[in-house]
A = this chain, B = another copy of it.
């Protein structure tokens, strides 16, 4: 196979250490390009910038940045920046987990959703906490899984959401293919006051309860495995559709 063309992006910005580690790993697999946001875009989800034009800057050879979201980066990379259609899109490495329902908020995962919409195999990588984050082991895992993705096919319309535990390579027990877990936040909004004494709310903090169900992404990581979850674009609840047709139809 000719040297594969690989797009590297993230939601933490082009200068984040996680994307540099991922780029290093991808450069040993193929012809890697970075197209990433200028600044932190965590929790921007699948936001797309349509109300203003975007300017692309080439920072150094094959490394581009723009003043937009991770989704913008994938759309412009695929359609305008890269010399050809990429064989693989990788996003990350995010410092912090993207597990369970939280992936819906994630810029890291959304970049892989956008890539999947173009029919390109796409992987999202996150290193679970707590900080400080050292990306060396995670980059090795990313190298291995990206190699596999270049050889084997992914299910159609499906990205892989990958979470890596923050432990030494020798302590990682292996890879588990998992399903998306659920989480519930408790007291995740704090009250604070501005200098004029006016109440504000700040989203964050609180405590998290994980499903810890059999076969879930969160359990795999907590037990020391790399979690690989196939995430599909089609959100239809097929069983729910049958229920509605039975119970709601007038």
Q: For A46, give the chain B residue with the smallest CB separation.
A: B45
Please, which residues of chain B bring their CB within 8 A of the CB of A91? none
Q: Does A27 contact B (CB under 8 A)?
A: no
Q: Which residues of B contact A76 (CB under 8 A)?
A: 189, 201, 203
User: Judging by beta carbons under 8 Å apart, are B202 and A54 in contact?
Assistant: yes
Please judge, given known A-B contacts A47-B47, A237-B231, whether A245 and B113 are in contact too, CB under 8 Å.
no
A50 touching B179 in the complex, CB below 8 Å, given contacts A104-B113, A233-B101, A244-B228 = no
Other-chain residue from B50, B194, B199, B240 in contact with A155 (beta carbon distance below 8 A)? B240
Residues of B within 8 A of A230 (CB): 236-237, 240-241, 243-244
Place the interface of chain A in its size category. 35 or more
The answer to the question of A131 belonging to the interface, with a C-beta cut-off of 8 Å to chain B, is: no
Knowing A189-B80, A203-B75, A235-B103, the reply to whether A177 touches B249 (Cβ < 8 A) is yes
Bound Cα distance A154, B244 (Å): 8
Q: Which of B177, B200, B232 contacts A55 (CB 8 A)?
A: B200
Given contacts A194-B53, A236-B180, A244-B155, contact A105 B201 (CB under 8 A): no
| Further pairs besides A152-B247, A230-B241, A231-B236: 8, Cβ < 8 Å | A47-B47, A55-B194, A174-B250, A175-B250, A178-B241, A179-B241, A228-B248, A229-B241
| A residues apposed to B, CB below 8 Å | 40, 42-56, 71-72, 75-76, 79-80, 101, 103-105, 110, 113, 117, 148, 152-155, 157-158, 174-175, 177-180, 182, 188-189, 191-192, 194, 198-204, 228-241, 243-245, 247-250
